[in-house]
């Protein structure tokens, strides 16, 4: 923790039970050792971006992870902010099959909001907690080269080529990348990429140890409506085929499975509304969502 933050830290925690805090840290030691040097890709969205306090809490957790040896990589969304800016700019949106058509006017707003307003806000929050972060997009250093997903949707892209070497250099300098899901085409086009899809592609390119998908739901639920704490890819496919996994959970599980097929050791769909969700998932036995990994 940087010197300038120490006084505030002591004030904040003066009423805490110090023995209990020490016990918690001691219990976390095996997990600190387990994840030392590990790359963890975090898709940030939903509640964790919804307020200054939630952002501050997330940023502090990320800085803590960095200080105990994890290499965090942040990929963020920003749908509500994009919608608000499009409305303010008077840009009308067209939808095909429930998906926004990203025309030339829309992609300019999307890039401005994600690479500018949203990305820099996250960078600022991390650095306010003593970390070092840099805001980039998938266009920088050809990190994420895309092809058009569907001509009907305009400038919406699917990653087809990745440049993980650029992110490896940031890791070597202990700089936390904050990545906007904006990709480039082979001919210089700008593409809007689904945030979960971008996070999965980046995690696979880095052969990350963990992909954490922060959502606004507790995790994957079974037929009984209860959250499943751990599940295999095979069980995910069975629940999808039977209709238990449906709606917005399908693309998230598909992203997780695709990332694992690309080399990610495990993926977690976790509730970003829970305070310190990432820390709970990595450094406690209980976790904070649904862990997806192969059979041991």
What's the predicted TM-score (pTM) here?
Answer: 0.91
Residue whose C-alpha is closest to residue 151's, from 91, 103, 86: 103
Q: Cβ-count burial of 171 within 10 angstroms (0-12 exposed, 13-18 middle, 19+ buried)? A: middle
Nearest-angstrom CA–CA distance, 179 and 195 = 10
Nearest-angstrom CA–CA distance, 151 and 252 = 23
Residue whose C-alpha is closest to residue 245's, from 227, 220, 226, 274: 220
Nearest-angstrom CA–CA distance, 165 and 173 = 13
Q: What is the chain's mean pLDDT, rounded?
A: 90
Q: Residue 172: pLDDT band by 50, 70, 90 thresholds? A: confident
> Taking residues 132-159, what's their average pLDDT?
96
Residue 16: inside a domain: no
pLDDT (tens digit per residue) in 195-218: 999 999 999 999 999 999 998 888
Residue 18: inside a domain: no
Residue 17: inside a domain: no
**Binding-site residues for substrate:** 78-79, 100, 192
Residue 27: inside a domain: no
**CATH at residue 83:** 3.40.1160.10
Q: How far is CA 231 from CA 227, 259, 292, 293, 296, in A?
A: 10, 15, 5, 7, 11
pLDDT (tens digit per residue) in 229-266: 999 999 999 999 999 999 889 999 999 999 999 999 99
Residue 7: inside a domain: no
**Binding-site residues:** 78-79, 100, 192
What residues contact 81, with CB distance under 8 A and at least 6 apart? Answer: 113, 117, 118
Nearest-angstrom CA–CA distance, 276 and 56 = 11
Residue 113: inside a domain: yes
Q: Cβ-count burial of 165 within 10 angstroms (0-12 exposed, 13-18 middle, 19+ buried)? A: exposed
Residue 115: inside a domain: yes
pLDDT (tens digit per residue) in 29-84: 999 999 999 999 999 986 667 788 999 999 999 999 999 999 999 999 998 899 89
Tally of structural domains, the chain = 1
Structural domain including 105 reads: 34-292
Residue 19: inside a domain: no
């Amino acid at each position: 923790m940087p010197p300038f933050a120490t006084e505030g830290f002591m004030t904040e925690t003066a009423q805490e039970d110090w023995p209990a805090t020490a016990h918690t840290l001691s219990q976390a030691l095996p997990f600190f050792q387990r994840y030392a040097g590990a790359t963890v890709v975090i898709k940030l969205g939903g509640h964790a971006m919804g307020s200054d306090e939630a952002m501050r809490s997330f940023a502090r957790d990320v800085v803590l992870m960095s200080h105990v040896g994890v290499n965090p990589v942040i990929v963020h969304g920003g749908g509500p902010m994009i919608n608000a800016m499009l409305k303010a700019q008077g840009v009308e949106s067209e939808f095909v099959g429930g998906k926004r058509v990203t025309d030339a006017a829309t992609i300019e707003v999307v890039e401005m909001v994600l690479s500018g307003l949203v990305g820099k806000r996250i960078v600022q929050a991390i650095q306010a907690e003593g970390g070092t972060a840099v805001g980039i997009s998938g266009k920088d250093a050809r990190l994420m080269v895309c092809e058009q997903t569907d001509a009907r949707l305009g400038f919406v892209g699917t990653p087809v080529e990745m440049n993980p070497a650029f992110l490896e250099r940031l890791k070597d300098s202990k700089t936390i990348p904050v990545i906007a899901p904006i990709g480039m085409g082979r001919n210089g086009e700008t593409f809007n990429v689904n945030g979960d899809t971008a996070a999965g592609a980046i995690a696979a390119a880095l052969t990350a140890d963990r992909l954490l998908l922060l959502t606004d739901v507790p995790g994957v639920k079974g037929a009984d409506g209860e959250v499943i704490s751990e599940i295999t890819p095979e069980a995910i496919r069975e629940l999808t085929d039977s209709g238990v996994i449906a709606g917005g959970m399908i693309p998230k599980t598909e992203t997780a499975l695709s990332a694992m097929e690309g080399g990610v050791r495990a993926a977690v769909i976790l509730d970003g509304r829970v305070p310190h969700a990432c820390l709970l998932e990595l450094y406690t036995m209980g976790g904070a969502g649904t862990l997806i990994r192969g059979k041991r």
